[in-house]
Amino acid sequence: MNISTKSLVSNSDMIKNYKSCRKIADNTGKVFILKNNQPDAVLFSITEYERLSVFIEYMESLDENEIARVVSLLPIEGKRKTYTMDHLKSDLNEQ
């Protein structure tokens, strides 16, 4: 996973500057919150949350074999790209 340094904030910055952290989330989709310089939490924009929720709900509707097919379509680490639900459905229908 590639994480932009623009999307990193400390726990104390989140507490002190929530509004500016929300702006970062709106611009980047998510903010990674660090506690003691270690990942602690993620703040998603509502747009990113809705996008992920659709995917999670879709995955929950699949049986084990269908999940295995979806997982096999995902790129290996380091060669990832953005997938839309339409792209995944299209790939599933081709197999």
Per-residue pLDDT of 18-76, as tens digits, reads 999 999 999 989 999 999 988 899 999 999 999 899 988 988 899 989 888 888 887 77
Indicate the class that CATH gives domain 5-45: alpha beta
48, 30 Cβ separation under 8 angstroms: yes
Question: What does the pLDDT read at residue 33?
Answer: 94
Assess whether pLDDT exceeds 90 at residue 3.
no
The two tokens of residue 6 are 């623009």
CA atoms within 13 A on the CB side of 46: 0
Domain ranges of the chain: 5-45, 48-94
> Torsion angle of alpha carbons 50, 51, 54, 59, nearest 10°?
-130
CA 16 to chain centre: 25
